[in-house]
Amino acid sequence: MSSVIWYLYEFARKSWAEKFANAHTEHEILEKPERFRDFPTVKREYCIGCGACTTACPAPGAIKLVRDTDTAEEEGQTYPVIVRGACIRCGFCAEVCPTDPKTIECGENHLIREEFTIVPSEKLYVIDDYLCIRCKKCMKACPVDAITEKDGRVEVDQGRCIACGECLEKCPVKGALKVIHVAYVEEQKMVINLAVNELESAIEEKSEDIKKLEAEGVYRMNYPLKPLLERALEVLPDEEIVRDLLEKITDRLKMRIITWSPEKCVQCRLCVDECPSGAITYSEDEGIVRDPDKCLRCSTCYQTCPFGVAGYYVARFLIDESSGEEMIRITIKPAALPVKR
C-alpha cells in the first residue's frame, strides 16, 4: 500500500509532469566519445567582451555577445552565447579566445592565439566627417550594409566591412572616404622614406638652378613616376598599396629645401651656435661645413646668416598623367621668411 502512495506522489510531482508533457532527449545525457568536439562551453565570468570569437566565427550568427542589464552595484557582465542551431562545432572561437583561463572551451584545443589574424581585412575604410556631404551614396552601394547613419554622421562598421571598395567608387568627394592599409606597416614606412629621399636627391641635383631664383620666381621640374614605382614595388610587392601611398605622399608632402653656397661664406660662425641639430660645424682646416644628413631643414641658418649662404625653398608635388606618361610635377618657390640682413 505504501508503494502505491509513493508512486502516486512521484507522478504528481511537477517536474515529472513537465517532463512527461515535453518529452525529448537531453543533450547532456549523451555518452560522448573521447576527443569528440561538442558545442563550445562558455564560462561567462572570464569574458572580457572583446568580441574576438564573434569576429572569428565562420558560421554566420552562431555566436552572439550578450550584455546583462546594469544593476545599482555593478555593470552588467558581457559574455558570448552559442546559438546551437547555427554552430558548426569547429572550435575556432575557443582558439582565438584571448582570456586566460579561456572563456570558451571546445573539445581538445591547445593552440596558440598569435597564429590567427582577428582583423578580417587589410584595409580600413574611414569616413572623414568634416568632408562628408551626407549624400549616402556609399550606404546604397555597400553590399553588406556596413555603412550606417548614426546621429547625423555616416559611419563604417568595421566588424561588418568586407573591404570590397564599392563605397569608394561611389563617393563623389575626394578624401571624404579614405582607405587605410593596416598591413605591411614597416614596408609602407620604407616606401615613404624611399620616395622622399628620391625626390629630394632629384631636387638637389638642380640646386644650382634653384639658387638663381628670384624672390617671386617659381621653378618647375618633372620627375618620372615609373622608376620610383618600380623601386617601391621591390620593397612592397603590392601595386595597389604602393600607388595609394605615392598619391598620398605627393598630395600632402611640402618639402623644405636648403641650398648652401660656400663661396659667399665669410666664416663668421653665427650659424654654428644657432643650428639646433649640430649639422653645421667649424674646424680650422675646413672652415664651416654643413652635413645634409643631420640637417633638420628648420631654416634657422637661413634666418641667421647675414650673407645669404643658406637658401630656403619650399617644394610641392603633384602626380600628372596629362602628357601620357605619369610624371611627378615639382614646383619650387623661395620661402617668404624674415631674414636678418
Q: Is the dihedral of CA 43, 44, 49, 54 positive or negative?
A: positive
Distance CA 48, CA 46 (A): 7
Q: Which stretch binds other proteins (CB under 8 A): 158-166, 270-278, 285-293, 318-326?
A: 158-166
d(CA 188, CA 235): 9
- Which of 105, 122, 198, 244 touches other proteins (CB under 8 A)? 122
Given candidates 49, 61, 120, 278, which one binds other proteins under the rule CB under 8 A? 120
| Cα 56 to Cα 277: distance, rounded to the nearest angstrom | 49
Site for other proteins in 225-244 (CB under 8 A): 237-238, 240
88 belongs to the binding site for other proteins (CB under 8 A):
yes
Pick the binder of other proteins from 50, 139, 168, 183 (CB under 8 A): 183
Pick from 74, 78, 22, 26: which is nearest to 47 by CA?
78
Question: With binding defined as CB under 8 A, does residue 163 bind other proteins?
Answer: yes
Look-up of cell digits 568634416: 130
* Sheet strands (E) in 83-151: 104-105, 123-127, 147-150
Determine, following the binding rule CB under 8 A, whether residue 333 of this chain makes contact with other proteins.
Answer: no
Q: Which CB, 165 or 300, lies closer to other proteins? A: 165
Binds other proteins (CB under 8 A): choice among 65, 90, 124, 202 = 90
Q: What are the start-end ranges of the E strands in the chain?
A: 41-42, 63-67, 78-82, 104-105, 123-127, 147-150, 153-156, 177-181, 219-224, 254-260, 280-283, 287-290, 310-320, 327-334
Q: Which of 33, 85, 152, 324 binds other proteins (CB under 8 A)?
A: 33
**Look-up: residue for cell 542589464?**
69
Q: Which stretch binds other proteins (CB under 8 A): 5-13, 72-80, 118-126, 287-295?
A: 118-126
Could you say which of 45, 73, 114, 284 contacts other proteins (CB under 8 A)? 114
- Of these, 111, 133, 196, 218, which contacts other proteins (CB under 8 A)? 111
Mark the segment that binds other proteins (CB under 8 A) among 156-164, 242-250, 275-283, 308-316.
Answer: 156-164
* Dist CA 199 CA 315 (whole Å): 10
Residue from the set 6, 7, 11, 36 that interacts with other proteins by CB under 8 A: 36
Q: Which residue's CB is nearer to other proteins, number 35 or number 150?
A: 35
Q: Nearest 5°: CA angle at 326, between 320 and 329?
A: 45
* Residues forming the site for other proteins (CB under 8 A): 33-37, 56, 58-59, 88-92, 95, 107-112, 114-117, 120-122, 162-164, 183, 237-238, 240
